[in-house]
Amino acid sequence: MLAVQFDRFGPPDVLEIGVAPDPHPGRGQVRIRVKAAGVSPVDLALRAGESPGSKNLVLPHIPGVDAAGVVDEVGPGVVDVSAGDEVFGTVALAGLGGATAEYAILDFWGRKPERMPWHEAGGAGSGVETATRALDLLDVRDGMTLLVHGAAGGVGSVVVQLAAARGARVLGAARVESHPFLESLGVRPVSLEDVSQSVDRALDVAGAGVLDDLIKITGSVDDVVTLADFEGPSKGVRLSMGRPAGQVDGRHGLVDVAALVERGLFRVPVREVFPPHNAAAAHALAARSPRQGKVIIEGIRPSLGANPESG
């Protein structure tokens, strides 16, 4: 098959389209023909050789942890979907990559709602799982006020909508340029310095060294969770990590979010969509502020020229 991949660590232009072995699903997995894949911070860090996971990669490596597409092969034990079904979810390979290719192996998926565009579905998987996990950990419920720092990014823009769907009042902290974007998601934008209302829970998505502020605003270390600040545990703040630590079921939230999409209560904000031969530009944009929603790479069509059955 064809894949966007890199055979050395470096800047975005190390990404190129090449031939990779066709993957096949193992037990509990499905193979999809990829329609769209999301770009995530972990993809950028792995490509640059700056992630702790970089040293474990076998090169060439295919980036991308989120994908949506049409099931074309199911592994043993899979009973909920079959060939031809449209799904979205997260790729196997311990959360390290594999999405930006003609075919990808998913280990967690939900059925793609009919009204969810492929580009949105491709960027949804890990954001939905992460957001659901964090909101559960904080026990965010109807009537509470939740403050989210890093609210406009890929995960933040999902968190704020899922919290609102639970009935929470959501305050979104982000740079001023992103305030109109947050308002478009129905979120009240704030700056951390100006939070005057009472806040029940706070979630740090940006990992920008604001945990002391969040503890002060909520009044309790127990009401704060971080997804990105490794100083958290030393301050008594819970740091929630998903795969590859394998602490959670990656299906978490995918089914619920599909129901919200059907009711018009959730969307994945898409910042820009790139064709696969422009994957380098996609990675470059994903690293640039202000980040608002997801950068998406479209699936590779075999008409690009190489033999799709090769490998």
Ligand X SMILES: NC(=O)c1ccc[n+]([C@@H]2O[C@H](COP(=O)([O-])OP(=O)(O)OC[C@H]3O[C@@H](n4cnc5c(N)ncnc54)[C@H](OP(=O)(O)O)[C@@H]3O)[C@@H](O)[C@H]2O)c1
- Of 1, 46, 2, the residue nearest 277 (C-alpha): 2
Sign of CA dihedral 112, 116, 122, 126: negative
d(CA 205, CA 237): 13
Q: Is 93 helix (H, G, I), strand (E, B) or coil?
A: helix
Among 242, 253, 276, 299, binds ligand X (CB under 6 A): 242
Q: Is 281 helix (H, G, I), strand (E, B) or coil?
A: helix
Does position 175 interact with ligand X (CB under 6 A)? The reply is yes
Q: How far is the CB of 158 from ligand X (least distance, A)?
A: 8
193-222 positions binding ligand X, by CB under 6 A: 205-208
Q: Which residue carries 């026990």 as its tokens?
A: 139
Does position 241 interact with ligand X (CB under 6 A)? The reply is yes
Segment near ligand X (CB under 6 A); pick from 7-15, 16-24, 237-245, 262-270: 237-245
Does position 145 interact with ligand X (CB under 6 A)? The reply is no
Strands 294-298 and 270-274: parallel
Amino acid, res. 294:
K
Does position 174 interact with ligand X (CB under 6 A)? The reply is yes
For helices 41-48 and 279-286, the axis angle rounded to 10 degrees is 110
Specify the length of the chain in residues. 311
Give the nearer residue to ligand X in terms of CB position, either 54 or 311.
54
Over the window 91 to 130, marking each residue x when it contacts ligand X by CB under 6 A and - when it does not, the resulting string is -----------------------------------x---x
Over the window 64 to 93, marking each residue x when it contacts ligand X by CB under 6 A and - when it does not, the resulting string is ------------------------------
Q: How many residues touch ligand X (CB under 6 A)?
A: 26
Segment near ligand X (CB under 6 A); pick from 12-20, 27-35, 81-89, 286-294: 286-294
Q: Is 305 helix (H, G, I), strand (E, B) or coil?
A: coil
For residue 255, what are its two tokens? 């089914």
Give the count of alpha carbons within 13 A of 145, CB side only.
Answer: 12
Please count the other Cβ atoms lying within 10 Å of the Cβ belonging to residue 180. 10
Among 136, 290, 306, 311, binds ligand X (CB under 6 A): 290
Find the residue with minimal CB distance to ligand X: 153
Segment near ligand X (CB under 6 A); pick from 48-56, 112-120, 260-268, 283-291: 283-291
Q: How far is the CB of 41 from ligand X (least distance, A)?
A: 4
Q: How far is the CB of 257 from ligand X (least distance, A)?
A: 15
Give the nearer residue to ligand X in terms of CB position, either 155 or 237.
155
5-64 positions binding ligand X, by CB under 6 A: 40-42
Q: How far is the CB of 65 from ligand X (least distance, A)?
A: 9
- Of 171, 106, 153, the residue nearest 285 (C-alpha): 153
Strands 201-204 and 188-190: unpaired
19 — alpha (psi -120 to 50), left (phi > 0) or beta?
beta
Binding site for ligand X (CB under 6 A): 40-42, 126, 130, 150, 152-156, 174-175, 178, 205-208, 227-228, 240-242, 289-291
